[in-house]
């Protein structure tokens, strides 16, 4: 290992994060950010990144759906590369650190290694993934899913946005062309994959630690439910005669909460975040209710067992209340485990940089969930204030960001040598 003196240029990095945050569709000024994939603003952000990559002397490749790879070519360019990166799309009215720290931090890690005189054996590549957030097409991580063969190309092409335009049309209009097939990466494309990200939870700040070394990423499954009862006049239909869809849905929602609470896994979380009541009038008995379920765990068997139990409860509630319950699985991803070797490398980098760390799981999911399917994967977390994310007041101090970048830089250097 070449001995390295990593000096992160914190001022420049924070300046770039602020500049990126200013490229926003949000009605409020930065640090409030809105940047939806394939919008004019997203394209402007990509242009800004491109200029930074060029100034850094990196080789840039953009694939057919806009995933952007900026490569620092190693002395053995035919060897599998070491990859890092994250996303720059942002949900409406969110903050300036989610994803961007992994992209601009990845770039700064490369720049700091260059300044330190490091010469990589394997190429090091920073990736900006298209559409990590599900805002536009209802499904997250479309870029990494496509790279890792975790979505059929037909399904991807036919995802539809609120305007009724499909993914293929929208990406073409945004200027990206080529076959969807070409987005797939070979299984040996990356020797290792590491993503730097804010924690989006309160643990690191609460324990006053600098770095979280991610051991596993919890995986989500999402379902839609429909409860069909019988509507009627709120005054005329007496209580014993009612087949109220909302009251039945409420029972199911509380059953889901109960099952999640009593699960043996501390990492299992279940959320009903969206509910639609038909006809939605003050004097009308609800005849139809649709609701969503988002359920996550690091243990997929446990997660799926809880779903099965919830469905059994829903069936019983439907029978008792003489309503019909239908459900549909929208998406079900397996969790991912970090590579033990990468965990070791990240921890060694923490020791070198004299920063404190703990091992932890990622309860939010990231592009790394899918990259783990085609490469040994690791993630580096930095604290964020009060665990707040997806809000304009999302914040990490410049020192916290810089420590994350320094650990990432050493990690990348070490993996590029191996
Ligand atoms: Zn993110």
Rg (CA), the chain: 23
Look up residue 293 and give its two tokens.
Answer: 């379920």
pLDDT at res. 138: 85
pLDDT at 1: 54
Q: 225 CA distance to ligand 1 centroid (A)?
A: 27
Please tell me the distance between residue 132's alpha carbon and the centre of ligand 1 in angstroms.
Answer: 7
Between the CA of 331 and the centroid of ligand 1 the distance, in Å, is: 19
C-alpha of residue 303 to centroid of ligand 1, in Å: 23
* Torsion of the alpha carbons at 35, 222, 295 and 170, rounded to the nearest 10: -10
- Joined together, the tokens standing for residue 414 give 């070490």
Is 40 in a helix, a strand, or coil? Answer: helix
Q: What is the pLDDT of residue 183?
A: 97
Cα dihedral 87, 386, 381, 142, rounded to 10, equals: -30
Please identify every stretch of the chain with a pLDDT value under 50, giving residue numbers as ranges: none
Within 13 Å, how many C-alpha atoms sit on residue 64's CB side? 17
For residues 122 and 402, the answer to whether their CB atoms sit within 8 Å is no
Ligand 1 mean position, distance from CA 103 (Å): 10
Whole-model pTM: value is 0.89
Ligand 1 geometric centre to CA of 312 (Å): 34
Print burial letters for 112-145: b (CB count within 10 Å at least 16), e (below 16). Answer: bbeebebebbbbbbbbbbbbbbbbbbebbbbbbb
Q: Are 7 and 115 in contact (CB under 8 A)?
A: yes
Q: What is the pLDDT of residue 219?
A: 85
DSSP 230: B
Quick one: pLDDT at residue 331?
86
**What's the gap in Å between 207 CA and the centre of ligand 1?**
22
CA of 133 to the centre of ligand 1 (A): 8
Residue 358 pairs in a beta bridge with 212
How far apart CA 147 and CA 130 sit, in angstroms, is: 11
Find, among 255, 275, 270, the residue nearest to 317 by Cα. Answer: 255
């Amino acid at each position: 290992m070449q001995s390295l003196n990593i000096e992160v240029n914190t001022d420049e990095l924070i300046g770039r994060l602020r500049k990126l945050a200013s490229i926003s569709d949000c009605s409020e000024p930065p640090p409030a950010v809105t940047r939806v994939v394939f919008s004019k603003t997203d394209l402007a952000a990509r242009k800004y990144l491109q200029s930074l990559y060029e100034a850094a002397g990196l080789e840039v490749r953009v694939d057919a759906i806009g995933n952007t790879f900026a490569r620092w070519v190693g002395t053995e360019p035919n060897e599998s590369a070491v990859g890092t990166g994250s996303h720059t799309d942002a949900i409406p009215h969110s903050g300036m650190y989610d994803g961007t720290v992994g992209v601009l931090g990845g770039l700064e890690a490369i720049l700091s290694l260059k300044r330190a005189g490091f010469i990589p054996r394997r190429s090091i590549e920073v990736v900006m993934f298209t559409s990590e957030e599900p805002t536009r097409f209802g499904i997250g991580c479309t870029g990494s899913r496509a790279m890792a063969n975790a979505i059929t190309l037909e399904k991807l092409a036919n995802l539809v946005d609120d305007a009724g335009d499909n993914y293929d049309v929208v990406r073409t209009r945004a200027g990206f062309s080529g076959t969807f097939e070409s987005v797939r990466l070979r299984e040996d494309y990356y020797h290792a994959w590491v993503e730097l990200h804010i924690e989006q939870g309160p643990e690191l700040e609460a324990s006053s630690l600098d770095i979280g070394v991610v051991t596993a990423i919890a995986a989500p499954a999402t379902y839609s439910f429909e409860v069909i009862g019988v509507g009627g006049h709120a005054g005329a239909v007496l209580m014993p005669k009612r087949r109220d869809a909302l009251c039945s849905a409420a029972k199911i929602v509380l059953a889901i909460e109960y099952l999640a609470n009593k699960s043996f896994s501390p990492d299992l979380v279940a959320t009903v975040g969206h509910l639609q009541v038909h006809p939605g009038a003050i004097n009308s008995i609800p005849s139809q209710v649709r609701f969503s379920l988002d359920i996550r765990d690091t243990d997929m068997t446990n997660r799926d067992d809880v779903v099965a139990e919830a469905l059994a409860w829903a069936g019983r509630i439907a029978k008792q209340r003489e309503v019909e319950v239908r459900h549909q699985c929208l998406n079900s991803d397996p969790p991912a485990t970090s590579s033990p070797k990468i965990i070791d490398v990240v921890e060694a980098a923490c020791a070198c940089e004299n920063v404190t760390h703990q091992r932890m799981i990622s309860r939010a999911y990231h592009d790394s969930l899918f990259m783990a399917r085609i490469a040994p994967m690791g993630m580096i977390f930095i604290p964020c204030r009060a665990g707040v994310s997806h809000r304009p007041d999302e914040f990490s101090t410049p020192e916290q960001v810089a420590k994350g970048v320094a650990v990432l830089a050493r990690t990348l250097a070490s993996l590029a040598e191996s």
